Amino acid sequence: MKTWVARKEDVHTGVIPRKWYVVDAEGQTLGRMATQIATVLRGRHKPIWTPHVDVGDFVVVINAARVHVTGKKRQQKHYYNYSGYPGGLRAISFEDQMKRDPRRIIKHAVQGMLPKTRLAKRQFLKLKVYAGDEHPHAAQQPEPLLSQD
C-alpha cells in the first residue's frame, strides 16, 4: 500500500475539503479548548495530515467573553508586550483584557499552541473569534466541534 502525501495543489484544487467548525466558548476551560482548536487548525485530526501542507479546517469561536479559567488566573494572569525599548514592558491583567477585547485572550492561547513557522501563521488566519453569540459565517454551515460537558 502506498503512502499518500498531501500537496499544496491538492488543497487549492479542492481535493482536500475544508470544513467549518463552531465552538461555543461559554463555560469551556481556556487551555483545553485552545488545544483542540489548534489541532483542528493544523489538520492533525485528519488521517491525511502532512507537516508541510496546511490541511486544517476553519474554526469559529463564539461567546469568547464567557470563557472559563481555573484557579486564580482571573486575578493573577497577565499578558505582556515589550516594545524593545527601556521601560517599554507593558502588562495587562486577564480581567482588564476581558473588558477591553475578550477575543484576544482566545487568539493568544491558540497562537501559543501553534508552531512558530510561516505555515502556522497561515493556519492561524483560519481562526475566527467573536465575543458574542452572533457570527457572519452561517453560510458555511459550521458543525459544532466541542460538546458542553
Q: Which pTM was predicted?
A: 0.92
CATH superfamily, domain 16-70+99-144, is: Ribosomal protein L13 (3.90.1180.10)
Instruction: Assign 3-class secondary structure to the chain.
Output: CCCCCCCHHHHHHCCCCCCEEEEECCCCEHHHHHHHHHHHHHCCCCCCCCCCCCCCCEEEEECHHHCECCCCHHHHCEEEEECCCCCCEEEEEHHHHHHHCCHHHHHHHHHHCCCCCHHHHHHHCCEEECCCCCCCCHHHCCEECCCCC
pLDDT tens series, the chain, 149 aa: 788 889 988 888 888 889 999 999 999 999 999 999 999 999 999 999 999 999 999 999 999 999 999 999 999 999 999 999 999 999 999 999 999 999 999 999 999 999 999 999 999 999 999 999 999 999 999 999 976 55
Domain assignments of the chain as residue spans, ordered by start = 16-70+99-144
